[in-house]
DNA sequence: CGGTAATCGAGACGGTACGTCATGTCTTACA
DNA sequence: TGTAAGACATGACGTACCGTCTCGATTACCG
């Protein structure tokens, strides 16, 4: 690499400042939400100049995104494979719901979603970091279940993912009821009922778009 | 009331100004989202003084709430009773999804949800106007279905409501896929499968996208 | 006037704020010079928002100019006519020098001159307010003296003005010696000697600082 | 000195960098004045790190002072002795005025004077380099003239110096008229008239701008 | 039908935060 | 040790918006 061979020039970026900024940002975000988070306050709390923040993050939103990602990236469990779809989904969703309960993360997630509505650059980044990875893990679990024959091969996966995550985000954002463990497992069970093979069934393949029923 | 009996004195409130403000607000909200909507711009576009806005709405958020409510309140269909839960839910959700598709309402709804995270006064009002009424209509439909014996008496209604609305809000807000009619009916069907009595079922029709199980 | 007939609309400008801003500006200018004067400090000391300052003055320099002008405009004596050039010039220059001695105005004047070097808009305004008027007064006094035959009709007026004001500004700005009353009168006397009619003269008094030639 | 005897260690100071810095500084100063001169721009134009500048000059102002001094120090004529005060003063002032006309030095000198108003350290240095030496040369010329009997022994030298330099600085800084050769000689002549012995004089020529009194 | 009073449009007000820029210090790798 | 590069803390800049205020003008009712 040409860039590499030139060897880095100038004073290297301060890791200490970077971590202080991310920590201060997460802290203020949780206290006041994104709109209530001012760069001056973040800079002050991190013991850092505002210009240092703007040198590395173009906007408050980009900073917030990375701050939350950084704060969550600590100890993200790898994709579990428990042998059953129910187990896999629980392993995926329960820890997530539990973390969301520990702090008022809803106000941050809501602000991200709001920003994503009018800022497509941000939307891309938000999805890449917070939405797609979790969705992919769930999709993989569903794929394994189909391979095992646990669910029909023709299951509408996108719909299933929305049935799983939709209600969880709904409670996170609307706060009409707690995001309890019970709620998570109820969602998983309901979704499993909705997609499980409709036995006793006789369908081999009739016609249609995606349904692929396999009876034992 | 003394105030009432004294009869109102002074110049009456201008209905023209009120409507111009609400229209301008909705317009700017759709163009730029809540954060991008400034009171100066709304006042300018409505041909109104800023003070006139603040005389009737305490904050930008309260104004936005009422503006969207006003813009939606035109022709809201009453609670339908089609005779089947499936029909009732479709009658409830399809028009809603259709309206949401006509304009970038997601950016307004997202902003409302975000504001509700840190402003409990606003949250109360937002729920009272936009969340609770729809939820109650769906709850009533579910109640009627239980009375008819269409679904088990012990159905978890709260869970069911979240299973219906969660995925819809999810697509509205995350925009990973369109809020199509098909998606709405798929959700309804999936939820009906999830809550139907768990008795042996007999396939009625082998063809078609919407074939559903009928309990004998 | 069309503008007049429309009658003023909107809240009128706050005279109180205007005076507070001018006073605070002069104060800070004298304490810290123009470069050391920040708009934030002026706004703070005047109890005014920064935007209010920028609404009426485009730049810090324009504000400073008007602030000093305002502070000096109080009780500016009209053009004197004492009957002799010497008296007129003393009446013009002595009060000016005396005021300059009361406060460190040199730092403000110097800053104005510096700004005028690179900002021609400012230069125009600076000359119109601070340089030209005084120069015109002195020019008029010289004109009257020529009419009276006190000085030759062919006197180089521009040169004379520079001979009068140059040394005064020099001491104001370079501060190598005080801008004393004595210095002012010495300058006037020297300039009178330099421009007096070059006719055979008779010394009235042979030595001393203030002796003057009398033509028979 | 120990430092001297130990012989300097490490990389020696780069003369090339020093000259590049001074040249770049003068260049930018002339283009934009002192306030418009940023260390980053100077460093960039000189192809030098900012720290290298700060290693050798404590502040921007000190650098500017030395840069102008360096740019002028090239070919400064020694003190002339022409045999007459008029000749000496012309020899001193004319080349100076000519150089000042070649570039917009006024903006630099003005900035120096401004800085000197609030920075006494700078003032000392500015006087030592730019004011005192020229003043001393003129003072010496006046001294020689007094010895020769060309001017009265009691001549007020300080006043005379201000009468000479004041008008020149006045035009340099206020720019109301050009700093022409003619202006310089007019000043010298006027000052000579002002300080010449007040003996009966004989008009040599009655008209014209350059007629001078000759004492018999 | 003139007086009273609330509302209107306009726009200035005191604040707060924004994102940028310059100063003077520092920290690296290289010479 | 001096250097080029460039990150750093600090702090002022000029702008934008918020929510309040103060005008003169307007528009109803009430006596």
Residue environment code for B171-209, b if the CB has 16+ CB neighbours within 10 A, otherwise e: bbbbbeeebeeebbbbbbbbbbbbbbeeeebebeeeeee
Q: Domains of chain B by range and CATH?
A: 3-59 (1.10.10.60), 75-195 (1.10.357.10)
> How far apart (Å, rounded) are the C-alpha atoms in residues A171 and C87?
90
Terminal-to-terminal C-alpha distance of chain C? 61
Closest residue by Cα to residue C52 from C26, C17, C77, C78: C17
Q: What's the mean pLDDT in B61-77?
A: 87
Taking CB atoms and an 8 Å cut-off, how many pairs form between chains A and B? 161
pTM assigned to the model: 0.86
Residue lying closest to nucleotide F23, CA to C1'? C11
pLDDT at A75: 56
Q: Residue B195 pLDDT more than 50?
A: yes
pLDDT at C75: 57
Indicate contact of D with B: 3+ CB pairs under 8 A: no
pLDDT at D74: 62
pLDDT at C86: 97
Distance, CA of C48 to C1' of F22, in Å: 17
Distance, CA of D124 to C1' of F2, in Å: 30
When pLDDT is cut at 50, 70 and 90, the band that residue A2 belongs to is very low
Q: Do D194 and C190 touch (CB under 8 A)?
A: yes
- Say whether the CB atom of D10 is under 7 angstroms from strand F: yes
When pLDDT is cut at 50, 70 and 90, the band that residue A212 belongs to is very low
Q: How far apart are the CA of C26 and the nearest CA of chain D, in angstroms?
A: 16
Q: How far apart are the CA of B91 and the nearest CA of chain A, in angstroms?
A: 20
When pLDDT is cut at 50, 70 and 90, the band that residue D202 belongs to is very low
Q: Residue C39 pLDDT more than 50?
A: yes
CA distances in angstroms from A157 to A81, A82, A91, A161, D62, listed in the order given = 18, 19, 18, 6, 72
Q: What's the mean pLDDT in C156-168?
A: 98
Query: Where is average pLDDT lowest: A40-44, A199-203, D209-213?
Result: D209-213
Q: What is the largest CA-CA distance in chain C?
A: 72
When pLDDT is cut at 50, 70 and 90, the band that residue B76 belongs to is low
18-47 of chain B touching strand F, CB 7 A cut-off: 37-41
> How far apart (Å, rounded) are the C-alpha atoms in residues B134 and B161?
10
Query: Which residues on B lie below 8 Å from A110 (Cβ)?
Result: 110, 113-114, 116-117
Residue environment code for A15-32, b if the CB has 16+ CB neighbours within 10 A, otherwise e: eebbebbbbbbbbbbbee
Query: Chains meeting B at 3+ CB pairs closer than 8 A?
Result: A
Q: Is the dihedral of CA A116, A117, A119, A123 positive or negative?
A: positive
Contacts for D54 with CB less than 8 Å, ≥ 6 apart: D39
- pLDDT tens digits for range D166-178: 999 999 999 999 9
Query: Which residues on B lie below 8 Å from A117 (Cβ)?
Result: 33, 104, 106-107, 110-111, 173, 175
- Say whether the CB atom of B51 is under 7 angstroms from strand F: yes
Q: Residue C208 pLDDT more than 80?
A: no
123-142 of chain A touching strand F, CB 7 A cut-off: none
Query: Where is average pLDDT lowest: A76-85, C73-82, C101-110, D130-139?
Result: C73-82
Answer for the pair B179, B187: CB distance below 8 angstroms, yes or no.
no
> How far apart (Å, rounded) are the C-alpha atoms in residues B68 and B23?
9
User: For residue D67, what is the DSSP state?
Assistant: H
pLDDT at A8: 76
- Count Cβ atoms below 10 Å from residue C122 Cβ, excluding itself: 19
User: What is the DSSP secondary-structure string of A142-165?
Assistant: HHHHHHHTSS-TT--HHHHHHHHH
- pLDDT tens digits for range C44-73: 999 999 999 999 999 999 999 999 999 998
> Which residue in B111, B131, B208 is closest to A114 by CB distance?
B111
pLDDT at B197: 65
SS (H, E, C) B91-157: HHHHHHHHHHHHCCHHHHHHHHHHHHHHCHHHHHHHHHHHHHHHHHHHHHHHHHHHHHCCCCCCCCH
Q: Residue B47 pLDDT more than 50?
A: yes
When pLDDT is cut at 50, 70 and 90, the band that residue B208 belongs to is very low
- Say whether the CB atom of C59 is under 7 angstroms from strand F: yes
Q: Residue C201 pLDDT more than 50?
A: no
Q: Residue A207 pLDDT more than 80?
A: no
Note the strand E nucleotides within 7 A of protein beta carbons. 4-31
Q: Residue B202 pLDDT more than 50?
A: no
pLDDT at B2: 38
Terminal-to-terminal C-alpha distance of chain A? 57
- Say whether the CB atom of A193 is under 7 angstroms from strand F: no
Taking CA–CA distances from D109, the nearest residue in chain C reads: C114
- Say whether the CB atom of D11 is under 7 angstroms from strand F: yes
> How far apart (Å, rounded) are the C-alpha atoms in residues D183 and D94?
10
> Which residue in C104, C162, C211 is closest to D171 by CB distance?
C162
Query: Where is average pLDDT lowest: A168-172, C75-79, C159-163?
Result: C75-79
Beta bridge partners of B214: B202
Q: Residue A205 pLDDT more than 90?
A: no
Q: Average pLDDT of chain A?
A: 88
pLDDT at C196: 80
- pLDDT tens digits for range A127-145: 999 999 999 999 999 999 9
* D78 or D106, higher pLDDT: D106
The backbone torsions φ and ψ at residue A51, rounded to the nearest 5 degrees and listed phi first, read -60, -30
Nucleotide nearest to C47 (CA to C1'): E14
- pLDDT tens digits for range D32-65: 999 999 999 999 999 999 999 999 999 999 999 9
When pLDDT is cut at 50, 70 and 90, the band that residue D14 belongs to is confident
User: Which residue in the block uniquely carries the two structure tokens 């109301």?
Assistant: D176
pLDDT at A83: 92
Inter-residue long-range contacts of C17-21, CB under 8 Å, 24+ positions, other chains counted:
C17/C46, C17/C48, C17/C52, C18/C56, C20/C46, C20/C47, C20/C48, C21/C46, C21/C48, C21/C52, C21/C53, C21/C56, C21/C63, C21/C67
- pLDDT tens digits for range A94-131: 999 999 999 999 999 999 999 999 999 999 999 999 99
Nucleotide nearest to C9 (CA to C1'): E10
Tokens of A207: 């016609």
Distance, CA of D174 to C1' of F20, in Å: 46
Distance, CA of D49 to C1' of F9, in Å: 19
Percent over 70 (pLDDT), chain A: 85
- pLDDT tens digits for range B122-177: 999 999 999 999 999 999 999 999 999 999 999 999 999 999 999 999 999 999 99
pLDDT at C203: 37
Distance, CA of B74 to C1' of F22, in Å: 38
Q: Do A202 and B203 touch (CB under 8 A)?
A: yes
Note the strand F nucleotides within 7 A of protein beta carbons. 1-30
> How far apart (Å, rounded) are the C-alpha atoms in residues A31 and C66?
46
Residue lying closest to nucleotide F11, CA to C1'? A49
């Amino acid at each position: 690499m040409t860039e590499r061979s030139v060897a880095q020039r100038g004073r290297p970026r301060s890791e200490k400042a970077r971590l202080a900024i991310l920590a201060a940002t997460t802290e203020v975000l949780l206290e006041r939400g994104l709109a209530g988070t001012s760069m001056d306050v973040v800079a002050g709390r991190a013991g850092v100049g505002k210009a240092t923040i703007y040198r590395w993050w173009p906007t408050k939103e980009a900073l917030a995104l990375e701050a939350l990602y950084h704060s969550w990236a600590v100890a993200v469990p790898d994709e579990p494979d428990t042998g059953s779809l129910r187990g896999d989904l629980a392993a995926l969703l329960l820890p997530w719901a539990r973390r969301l309960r520990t702090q008022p993360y809803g106000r941050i997630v809501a602000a991200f979603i709001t920003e994503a509505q009018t800022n497509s650059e941000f939307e891309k980044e938000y999805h890449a970091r917070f939405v797609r990875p979790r969705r992919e893990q769930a999709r993989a679990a569903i794929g394994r279940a189909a391979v095992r024959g646990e669910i029909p091969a023709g299951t509408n996966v996108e719909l299933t993912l929305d049935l799983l995550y939709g209600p969880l985000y709904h409670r996170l954002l609307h706060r009409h009821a707690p995001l309890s463990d019970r709620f998570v497992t109820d969602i998983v069970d309901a979704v499993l009922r909705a997609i499980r093979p409709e036995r006793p069934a006789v369908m081999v393949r009739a016609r249609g778009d995606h349904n692929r029923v396999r009876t034992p």
